[in-house]
Structure 1
Amino acid sequence: MFDMFKKNKQKDSRSLLKTRNNELIVKHNPKSPASEAYRSIRTNISFLSPDNPLTKIAITSSGPSEGKSLTIANLAVSMAQNGKNVIIIDADMRKPMQHKFYDLPNFEGLSNILTGEIDFEDGLRETGIDGLQVITTGTTPPNPAELLNSKRMEEIIKRADKEADMVFIDTPPVIAVTDAAVLSNKVDGVILIVASHQTEESMIVRAKEQLDKVNANIIGTIITKYPVNSRGGYYDYYYYYGNSFKG
């Protein structure tokens, strides 16, 4: 058991070397077109339900590598820069990513809170950005879907909602596993990420059907990896984020 724990710690240590902090474009280049797009999305979210603000939002995609985790990270920074207290919950236990954007360890986190190994407050991590905290995934469990569908998960989301103005939940792709669908009825709304020139239309339709089956409140889509110009370069690396929300 000790050897397994040691190997997990070594794996987490190696993962920290693969930092993605430089991809927080809103933090490092706030005047860029991409940062402005995030601010536009932030504004759209606030206007969606002015009388009953959406404070708990899950973000998913139809498939892998569509930019959902990066979208959450930058959108959360944008919210924090606007004076909001934000908590990100990384619920993508199969492919955790949020800790890499903020150079955080991932030894303990959501899974450990769910199993009672640590308390909620012990799982909250400071990011170095005022107003923004993260709950990383923690130890990879053998049964992510069961843990995420538990009463304890509902309590964690409610606690986060009480502690913050906005809670973002990073979920796995909706077609691959049931995790996103399981979480969709525990939040106020779901945003679907669609990668430009990558996501097939049939995948988008399937993703929406999966969410509709559980009566998820799909509040909109965000288009990622949209080419800024034909020359490529800096902003093509960070991508351009547009948005398309339901009225």
Structure 2
Amino acid sequence: MDLNKELKRLAAVHRESPNKVFTMYLNTDPSDPEQQGGEWKIQFKNGMRNFEQYLKEADNKEELNCFQQVKQQVEKYIRMNEQQFRRGIILITTADEEVWFAVRVQMRLKTVFFWQETPVLDQLKKLKEQYPKSGIILVQQNKVKLMEAYLNEVEAVKMYEFDLEIDDWREKTTIEPGNPTLQKDDLYARFEANKQRWYKKIAPKMDKLAADKQWEKVFIVGEPGQAQAFQDQMNKSPDEVINKNMLDHQKSNILKEIFG
């Protein structure tokens, strides 16, 4: 999803009554203490009912009809996706579905509902700023892991290892032992003697990916000497260098370390 493009499209939307724009930010985060009992279902039901009740009391039949069409669309989306919910849902639509934006996100949202002439994009813009399209480069001696992340989710992972037999990096596609003939101490000594040369061979690949994938931010993660050595070989300056060995950590922990 190109969120920049979607934001531009949604910002241009303006609808007059009765076919207004419905915007929903729904917190479905199971780790939220306030959501332990699936309270989002009650909040969703109450939010929709309040709009419906207001329009009934206003005796605005055309607008009520449009809202009820939207309500059916939204309820259908929730039924179809409930088993795959993440931490939040953002949904923007109109009765005729000429406007439709629905995404399940891995970030906690503040639950709010809007029925007005334009979409409400504040939380969506905030998420884009907090969790930009990023390249996370994790280094550990002769290993480099690349994680591409966007909106607090990992979109792709690639693993590279320096192959001493061919004196170059290769992408690992399966779990396999690397450089099995070298003891740990021998590998460390070889790495220390060659790290600048080794990293110089793979850093241009990261620079090219940064340009091709249009990373908005670049992070390098690794022990101090290794992270600095890798940074020295890149043309693109990283936005942040994190001096921790996290190559074998779970993806969620890495994202939490970087984005909080």
Tell me the TM-score normalised to structure 2 length: 0.29
Larger relative contact order, structure 1 or 2 (CA cutoff 8 Å, min sep 6) = 1
Which of the pair is proportionally richer in strand?
2
- Which of the two has higher C-alpha Rg? 2
Q: TM-score, normalised by structure 1?
A: 0.30
